[in-house]
């Protein structure tokens, strides 16, 4: 049995080490927490991209952290995708769900109301005793509950209050909260596709990659590609169709 007496220094090494440990290994919880902390700057960066849209930045950071934790727990390195490529769409998806869910007022069950109050008190107590903002693991240990319970409580806290989108936010009353919400930005979807495209292209063989490069980056016709590679135009057409089918399959299987 492997016992980690030292913790890997880089965020990537932490994930690699975590992947090597079975779920029952005693070092796994500590290594998991270190991996989450190491990748928190990515979650904060993505959260700040969505700030200024009517939601408190702290709430967005909490939501992004939930997405990051899910990404760490579900990441499978054997799929050939690097962690950032997997985590970015996972965290962004969590943030988008946050905005979608907060559009409506949600009734919070009594259990979550009580848990919300307990988490708030624990945050205040631990911030004072630790001299820093407590982690999810800190709060869970303090309350004697699981990290999943704390995350559920944080979700419930965000759903506790709802503000109408028609609420005036300017002095003259001409601007409402709804006016501050951004529209759908296609660039976010394109960014996620670009992240997935690299690993998808890596599944193609060298000739397929060359044909795609000549066709879509070099803007060559199939006949020009055939002349350059030394095969028939019909063969180029078949290879191009095969390569695009592979790419579509890889991109469709990419996590949302």
**Cα-to-chain-centroid distance, residue 39:** 11
For residues 58-71, average pLDDT = 91
Q: What is the pTM of this model?
A: 0.39
What is the C-alpha to C-alpha distance for residues 21 and 27, in angstroms, rounded to an integer? Answer: 8
Q: Domains of the chain: which residue ranges?
A: 11-180, 186-252
What's residue 128's pLDDT? 84
pLDDT at position 8: 41
Distances (CA, A) of 236 to 51, 162, 213, 230, 232: 47, 57, 13, 10, 6
The pLDDT, as a whole number, for residue 103 is: 44
Domain boundaries 186-252, CATH class: mainly alpha
- pLDDT digits over 15-59, tens only? 777 777 777 888 788 888 888 888 889 899 989 888 877 778 888
Cβ burial of 211 (10 Å; 0-12, 13-18, 19+) is: buried
Cα–Cα distance measured from residue 245 to residue 238, given in angstroms and rounded to the nearest whole number: 11
Q: What average pLDDT does the segment 100-124 reach?
A: 69
More confident residue, 23 or 133: 133
Q: What is the pLDDT of residue 193?
A: 59
């Amino acid at each position: 049995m492997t016992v980690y007496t030292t913790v890997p220094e880089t965020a990537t090494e932490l994930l690699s080490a975590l992947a090597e440990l079975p779920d029952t290994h005693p070092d796994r919880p500590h290594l998991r927490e270190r991996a989450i902390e190491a990748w928190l700057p990515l979650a904060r960066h993505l959260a700040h991209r969505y700030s200024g849209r009517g939601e408190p930045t702290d709430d967005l950071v909490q939501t992004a952290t939930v997405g990051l934790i899910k990404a760490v727990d579900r990441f499978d390195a054997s799929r050939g995708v690097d962690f950032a490529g997997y985590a970015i769409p996972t965290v962004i998806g969590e943030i988008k769900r946050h905005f979608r869910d907060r559009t409506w007022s949600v009734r919070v069950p009594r259990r979550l109301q009580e848990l919300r109050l307990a988490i708030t008190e624990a945050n205040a107590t631990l911030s004072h005793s630790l001299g820093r903002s407590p982690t999810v693991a800190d709060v869970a240990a303090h309350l004697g509950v699981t990290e999943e319970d704390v995350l559920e409580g944080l979700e419930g806290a965000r759903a506790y209050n709802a503000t109408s989108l028609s609420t005036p936010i300017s002095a003259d009353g001409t601007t409402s909260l709804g006016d501050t919400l951004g529209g759908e930005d296609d660039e976010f979807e394109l960014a996620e596709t670009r992240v997935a495209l690299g690993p998808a292209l890596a599944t193609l063989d060298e000739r397929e990659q060359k044909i795609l490069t000549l066709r879509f980056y070099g803007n060559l016709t199939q006949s020009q590609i055939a002349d350059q590679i030394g095969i028939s135009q019909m063969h180029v057409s078949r290879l191009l169709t095969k390569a695009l089918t592979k790419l579509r399959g890889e991109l469709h299987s990419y996590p949302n």
